[in-house]
Amino acid sequence: MSKLKILFVLYPGVTHLDFTGPHQVLSRAPNSETLVASMGGQDIEAEGLTFTNLADLSKVERCDVICIPGGFGTTAAMLDEAFMAQVRRLGAGAKYQTSVCTGSLILAAAGFLKGKRSACHWAWRSMLEPFGAIVSEERVARDGNIITGGGVTAGIDFAFVMLEELAGRDYAEAVQLGLEYAPAPPFNSGRPELARPEVLAQVKARMAASADSRAEAAVRAAQAAEPV
């Protein structure tokens, strides 16, 4: 029996926890091979960490699960025609198309989310709309074989949903126990509806600087998107 191939696609400007959280979980899927790839196999720097020894995305023949993490680099990535061509190729042949955070914008730009329910980071959810996606506020959203996680840390929850799909609940729960994944955050401010107004205002102000350029990029990518 051939191994299940799980592919994480990296690009400049990726948020490393979007990738490393799910990778930690899904690398434990039974009878599987977890591959991390970038264009040309280039090293990817992410917030002070450098990921190296990556596969060349264009030379990956196929995968069963494709996962696109998010990050501020999604703005450039979804307008990179060569990169998007590889995402379309590999995603079209995958059984599961998945993402974390703003990685769903790349899935959408590849044409996979039209008419599909999808999660995204709360600050950028509206940018899914030009692609014809159905915006979900869920931490993990599923629409058929499309499974998407919300912002950053939601990627870990997404990964356990994915692991249950691949290996069953007992196996997924055993991995959860082994990783001692029992979140108990010190502050109850992880979603905009829970955060104190002054904290929410601070975060929105910080993100406002890039909001216009990201929204413009989403519209341009939606106009250029090819149907799968």
Q: Which of 63, 67, 101, 120 is catalytic?
A: 101
134 within 8 A of 108, measured Cβ to Cβ: no
109 within 8 A of 222, measured Cβ to Cβ: yes
76 within 8 A of 221, measured Cβ to Cβ: no
Compute the residue count for the chain. 228
Environment class of residue 25 by beta-carbon count within 10 Å: exposed (0-12), middle (13-18) or buried (19+)? buried
| Rounded Cα distance, 72 and 47, in Å | 11
Taking the CB of residue 202, how many other CB atoms lie within 10 A of it? 12
Lookup: tokens for 123: 């600050």
Question: Dihedral angle at the C-alpha atoms of 30, 31, 37, 43, nearest 10 degrees?
Answer: 70
To the query of whether residue 63 is one of the catalytic residues in this protein, the response is no
- Measure Cα distances from 129 to 50, 180, 191, 222 in Å: 33, 37, 21, 9
- CA angle, residues 86, 71, 145, in degrees to nearest 5: 55
Catalytic residues: 101
